A and B are shown apart, each in its own frame.
Chain A
Amino acid sequence: MSFEDTVRAHAADLYRYAYWLTRDHAQAEDVVQEALLRGWRAFPRLRERAAAKAWLFSIVRNEFRRAAGAAGREESLDGVEVPDERADPAGLEMRDALRALPRAYAEPLALQVLGGFSCAEIADMIGATEGATMTRLTRARQALRRLVQPRERKAGPA
C-alpha cells in the first residue's frame, strides 16, 4: 500500500484523534498535516507496513506533543485527576462530557474506540504500563458515565 493510500485509509481517524488531543479543529488539522509530512519522510523506512496505522497515530501524538511543548502548553500526564464527582455537571451530552475529560483519559479512550487498538498497543503508544492504561480507560468511562447520566440514575454495582 502506498503512503497516499495509507493516508486515505486513516486520515479521518487521525484527524479525530488529533482533535481529542488538541480540542481544536484547526490545530487538529495542522497536527495531522505536520505528522503526515514526517510520516511521508519516514515511510520508506517503515518495515512493517501492516503496522502503518499504529505508526501514524504515534506520529500524530508525537507531533502534538512537539507542538504543545513548543507552545508551552503541554499537559502533564501524571497526576491528572478525573473530574470531581461533586462538581460534575450531570446530564451532559457525551461530546461535552468528553471535552470535560482530562486529555490523559480522553486520549487512551480515543485510541481504543476510534483506533481500535488493544490495551497493550495503547500502553506502548502512550508510554504507560498496560495496567496503568486499563486504569485510565476504566476511570475515563466511570467519569463519562457520571457526567452523562442524570444524578438520580447514578448507582454503583450491586
Chain B
Amino acid sequence: MNCLDYRRQLLAGTGETDAMRVHRLQCAGCAAEWQEHGAFEEALRAGLEVTVPAGFAERMARAQALRRRRFLAAAATVVAAAGAGSYAWLTRPDPLALAFIDFVMKEESKAIMMGAMPRAEARKVLAGTLPLDKVERVGQVKHVGPCPFNGDTAYLIVLMVPQGKVSLLVMPSAKRSSEGHAAKEGMSAVVMPMHGGSVGIVGENHALVMDVAGALQA
C-alpha cells in the first residue's frame, strides 16, 4: 500500500484495514493524516447530527401506538358490524314461513271447511314428500285436505300433539334448499326442505314447532 491508496481509503470512511495500519505505522505523513482524519470525522459526525425536535422519537412511537389502537378499534367495528349483519341476516324472518303463519291465522278455517280428502288418497299424494303414516306417529291427524297456497296447491294437515295443535302445510312441488323461521303475533313457523318439496309447520310457540319438525325429520 502506498500513501495515495491509504488516503483514498481513509477518505471513503470505511475504517482502517490491517494493511492500512501497517502502512501508517511506517509512514509519518499518513500517521499525521490519520490524526487529522480522526478530528475531521468527529467534526463531520457533529455536523451531521442536527438537533432533533424534543421528544421526537417518543412522539413518533406514540403516533404508531395510536395508529395501531385506531386500526384495532376500526377492525373491531368492522367485525361487530359484520357480526350484527350476519345475525340480522340469520334471524331475518323467512317470507314463506311468514306466509304460512298468515295462512294459518286467516285461511286455515276456510280450508278445513272446504273438506278433508280421503286418507287413502292423502297417503298417495303425500307419499313422496311427507308420508302420512310418519305424521301419524308424531300425533293425531285431525284433518288432511288440499288448499290453495301461494298460487300452488298445498296440503293442510292439522295435527294434535301432547303439547298442543300444530298445522302442517305440505308443498310437494315447492323445492327448497334451507330451513327458514318466522314468528308473528304469537305464532311460530318453520319451513324446511322435504324430499324435493317443502313442509311448513306452524304452532303457538317455537319449541313446539321445532319438536314436531325434529320428529318429522327423524
**A contact residues vs B (CB 8 Å cutoff):** 3-5, 7-9, 11-12, 15-16, 19-20, 25, 29, 32-33, 36-37, 40, 93-95, 97-98, 109-110, 112-114, 118-119, 134, 137-138, 141-142, 144-145, 148, 157-158
Report the minimum CB–CB distance from A94 to chain B (whole Å): 3
B60 CB to closest chain A CB (Å) equals 4
Given known A-B contacts A32-B60, A40-B64, A19 and B11 have beta carbons under 8 A apart? no
A93 to chain B: which residues have CB within 8 Å?
47
Instruction: Give the CA-CA distance A134 to B60 in the complex, in Å.
Output: 33
Residues of B within 8 A of A12 (CB): 52, 56-57
Which chain B residue shows the least CB distance to A136?
A: B12
Verify B48–A11 contact, CB threshold 8 A. no
List B residues 111-134 near A (Cβ within 8 Å): none
Q: Name the B residues within 8 Å of A110 (CB-CB).
A: 48
A113 to B50, CA, bound (A): 13
Cβ contact within 8 Å between A98 and B57: no
B19 at the interface (CB under 8 A from A): no
Please provide the 10 A-B residue pairs with the shortest distance between their CB atoms, ordered closest to farther: A94-B47, A11-B57, A8-B61, A138-B11, A11-B60, A95-B47, A141-B11, A4-B61, A12-B52, A158-B29
Size of B's binding interface in residues, CB under 8 A = 33
> Hey, what's the 0/1 contact readout for B30-60 against A, CB within 8 Å counting as 1?
0001000000110111111110110011101
Of residues B4, B29, B41, B63, which shows the largest number of chain A Cβ atoms within 10 Å of its Cβ?
B63
Cα–Cα, bound, A86→B44 (Å): 22
CB-based contact A16/B43 at 8 Å? no
B40 contacts A145, CB within 8 Å? yes
Q: Does B75 contact A (CB under 8 A)?
A: no
**Given known A4-B65, A148-B43, A157-B29, contact A109–B48 (CB-CB < 8 A):** yes
Known contacts A112-B13, A141-B13; is A36 also within 8 Å of B3 by CB? no
Are B14 and A119 closer than 8 Å at their CB atoms? Answer: yes
CB nearest neighbor in B for A148: B43
Given contacts A25-B53, A141-B11, A145-B40, contact A36 B64 (CB under 8 A): yes
Instruction: Determine the distance from Cα of A29 to Cα of B57 in the docked complex, in whole angstroms.
Output: 11
Report whether A36 and B12 are in contact in the complex, using a CB–CB cutoff of 8 Å.
no
Other-chain residue from A33, A94, A112, A157 in contact with B3 (beta carbon distance below 8 A): A157
Please report the C-alpha to C-alpha distance between residue A64 and residue B34 in the assembled complex, in whole angstroms: 35
